[in-house]
Structure 1
């Protein structure tokens, strides 16, 4: 049987040993799940089917993530694009309007309106509306969807949400969306940390829903963004110190 080396932080390795976790079995299950999901995306991207069938095939994506993909399809058609690109997936995230990816962007101090402006500036007004409703994903968009799956798996999540799709778009090296996001300051490590902080903050806020808020309390989105920024502060300071040493 082939062997694959898995590297983990020292603290995690010690915790795994102490807990007696069956590493091989856990890794095999996680890898099997990731392979199935990536394979499903590749088959979906290669098949010229209608958008409803395409989205239905992504059953491990959340409802909001599937909604963002539908909106991406609409934007690609409206722009007269030959296929769904990463810029359309990013536009779909923005148009969906209520997802965690937007809170992550705000925590990174990236204004969604600025992203819209960059998408328009980069892609232009587009051509005539596509009559064919069955647009395929472009190569970069399909790669971003695959990366969203691997990002979710790396975080230990059994679903793919808009926040994972955002990470996939940031990580994908060649698509328009990644270039836009990175140019506005979306750094991979900070974005991953922001997603973890956002999910932790979301759970905390849900636990506080039943408690009456003081008159001057922040709105939930603003409070969540502030909590994420606080979680990111140590990492930002560490990166700044490294940059100072290199200059």
Structure 2
């Protein structure tokens, strides 16, 4: 299937893997595909998402509370604990990166697998391309696949931000048909 992907669509998949790795996630989910779509500002999908108020930073900010970090800097500051001062002291004593979480040996160091939902999005992108009689799968088809799948963290972000999903779908189809 990947041989049908355009260069931009392949970059979305590579970008999704990079986003998952940067966030220290062991699997590539729909949220990483959404971030991968937004990592290329000039693409059809990034422009369409931008017209609906969705940027990379909006998605990153929306995902932050869902990440499950144990330390909430604002809460600690409210009780008089300065996280930056703690980090500086610990790193001065034990070396830079002493507070960084150790790499889980079970976590893949090379290829990161896709979640079943993310795999479904990629499969649906192929179906969208075929339905539109397109010979290749573009980044826009990946976004259509994401919308068609209709669930996962990416859709939660879009829904919570009030994106008019039918309008976004119609815009994409119009652009891809031209």
What TM-score, normalized by structure 2, do the two folds share? 0.69
Residue 98 (structure 1) aligned with residue 75 (structure 2): no
Greater relative contact order, per chain length (Cα 8 Å cut-off, separation 6+)? 2
SS of residue matched to 2:63: helix
* Cα RMSD after superposing both structures: 2.4
> Could you tell me which residue of structure 1 aligns to residue 171 of structure 2?
194
Q: Does 1:61 align with 2:61?
A: no
Distance 1:196 1:125, change over 3 A: same
Match of 1:123 in 2: 67
1:110 equivalenced with 2:110 (yes/no) = no
Match of 1:154 in 2: 131
Aligned-residue offset at 1:78? 2.1
In structure 2, the residue matched to 1:136 is: 113
In structure 1, the residue matched to 2:16 is 72
State the 1:169 CA deviation.
1.5
- Measured in 1, the distance between the counterparts of 2:69 and 2:32 equals 13
CA-to-partner distance for each residue in 1:204-243, whole Å, 9 max, x for gaps?
A: xxxxxxxxxxxxxxxxxxxxxxxxxxxxxxxxxxxxxxxx
Which ranges in structure 1 are unaligned for 5 or more consecutive residues? Answer: 1-36, 38-57, 204-247
Shift, 1:190, TM fit: 1.7
Structure 2, unpaired ranges of 5+: 71-100
1:68 Cα offset (Å)? 1.4
TM-score when normalising by structure 1? 0.52
Instruction: Tell me the matched-pair count.
Output: 144
Contact 2:29–2:118 (Cα < 8 Å) also in 1:
yes
Find out whether 1:88 has 2:88 as its counterpart: no
Q: Give, in whole Å, the separation in 1 of the partners of 2:102 and 2:32.
A: 16
Whole-Å separation in 2 of the counterparts to 1:68 and 1:191:
19
What is the match of residue 40 of structure 1? none
Deviation track 1:146-191 (CA, whole Å, cap 9, x = no partner) reads 1111122222222111111112122223311122123323444322
Confirm or deny: 8 A CA contact 1:85 1:140 kept in the other structure: yes
Q: Cα 1:171–1:119, aligned 2, differ >3 Å: closer, same or farther?
A: farther
2:82 match = none
The offset of 1:124, in angstroms, is 5.2
The 8 Å contact of residues 85 and 141 in structure 1, kept in 2 or not, is answered as: yes
Q: Which deviations, in whole Å up to 9, do the C-alpha atoms of 1:119-170 show, x marking residues without a partner?
A: 3333356965655212111111101111111122222222111111112122
Q: SS where residue 59 of structure 1 aligns?
A: helix
Contact kept, 8 Å, 1:151 with 1:167, in 2: the verdict is yes
Taking the aligned partners of 1:97 and 1:128, their CA distance within structure 2 comes to: 33
